[in-house]
Chain A
């Protein structure tokens, strides 16, 4: 069996595919890559199916050792990639000779880099997915130095060299109001359009905390728990909004003001603490 070894895991490195949707009625978060666009791109580059499992890094760099020759691709947050000590291309398929170390550097822009390996990471499926869910603990534990990960059978050929994808920071987040916008003061909602918020430091795979002008409620009380979608913008009593990402809980009791446009979610997953974003209300 082909394997890779984790030499350095950085702040948080996890196995991620496209998650385990379909179990929310049992309280199971969808999980999966936060920036699905970058994971599916990395998979296409190495000839995998788009939903193959890869590695998701968080800001800090990681080091991997491959026992047999393979092809990898690194996408998502921009970073320096080195194979056996030599810099190689980011965002392109790269050959890795047997026995060599791959260093995925600190993210220079963005937050999460994705490493796809030809054949995919072949850890056991849990409820149809190999993803690590940091909220519920399903899937493999966050990776640590010394962990060995099986690599699956190669299913396709690496993509030809294409124009490398450029990393672009998300500067605007489009938001569709509802289902609980009626819990908030209309003037407060009107101010939200064009308002700038800063990404808070306690953001993680579960959600992004936004810091800025608090939203004012027009009604008090508690909302009975209700189902939550990916990208839901929940507003706790502090009035500071929180955008739910891949590992979000399936239900919640704070009112959801609106939902982020799905096209903006991969970019949300690349926002770093301290980044400023402008909110736009869309119909």
Chain B
């Protein structure tokens, strides 16, 4: 673990084990230590802190208990696997498209963090060797509900936007409702399964 100061009111903590990121996010929220707690790939940002040095010292003393595999809510996303990049992913994984679909559908994912756009969840679950590159030439418009892969992550575009992820399918699930108090269907820690549409 490495703790870095960010300006005068934030602390960035980097963890060696990605599992600690969600555990530290949960612990920070339980303790209510800062206005913003932003998990990411290997870090947690604690922003809006009156005394970051005291918080940094406190964080070093936290005993992180791993988040139980069934701790988060389970969300099932009815998904049709007909994305334009399904063939390219199959080639990359050296599998048939049917095998890609079976593998993806058979995996339970966990939302590691959100970013890129409101409600866009980075879901972890595929083994590391199945990481795929982003498109060299990003699309100007990716439709809302597109199920996509980049690096080790699966993501679902909550709203239409430009994007460089490889599109393997689509879901009709509504991922982003800014009129609700809890606007995002998928939040850090949510478990996700892709099921038959």
Contact = CB atoms under 8 A, between A and B. Distances in A.
Interface stretch (A5-13, A24-32, A164-172): A24-32
A22 B6 CA distance: 18
Given A178-B6, A179-B4, A229 B115 contact: no
B8 A226 contact: no
Contacts of B188: 25
Contacts of A262: 7-9
Contacts of A231: 7
B8 A27 contact: no
B12 A27 contact: no
Interface size class of B (residues with CB under 8 A): 35 or more
Given A25-B187, A224-B42, A176 B118 contact: no
Given A25-B188, A27-B114, A27-B115, A226 B41 contact: yes
Interface in B172-190: 178-179, 183-184, 187-188
A263 B187 CA distance: 33
Contacts of A151: none
Interface string A260-278: 1110000000000000000
A226 B44 CA distance: 8
B39 interface: yes
B6 to A, nearest CB: 5
A138 B176 CA distance: 11
B179 to A, nearest CB: 8
Given A25-B187, A138-B178, A226-B12, A178 B43 contact: no
Q: Which of A23, A27, A180 has the most CB of B within 10 A?
A: A27
Contact of A249 (B8, B48, B115): B115
A229 B119 contact: no
Contacts of A176: 5, 7-8
A22 B183 CA distance: 12
A27 B120 contact: yes
A275 to B, nearest CB: 23
Q: Which of B7, B38, B119, B179 has the most CB of A within 10 A?
A: B7
Contacts of A23: 118, 183
A180 B5 CA distance: 10
A259 B9 CA distance: 10
B114 A179 contact: no
A173 B161 CA distance: 34
Contacts of B120: 27
A260 B113 CA distance: 26
Given A126-B178, A136-B117, A251-B115, A25 B39 contact: yes
B42 A251 contact: no
A84 interface: no
Interface string A232-262: 1000000000000000011100001011111
Nearest to A180: B4
B117 A226 contact: no
A156 interface: no
Contacts of B183: 23, 26, 28, 127
Contacts of B7: 176, 178, 229, 231-232, 258-262
B109 interface: no
A251 B35 contact: no
A262 B9 CA distance: 9
Interface string B152-178: 000000010000000000000000001
A21 interface: yes
Contact of A178 (B4, B36, B39, B41): B4
A24 B38 contact: yes
Interface of B: 4-10, 12, 25, 35-45, 47-48, 113-120, 159, 178-179, 183-184, 187-188
Minimum-distance CB pairs A-B, first 7 = A227-B45, A259-B7, A227-B38, A224-B41, A251-B115, A179-B4, A27-B114
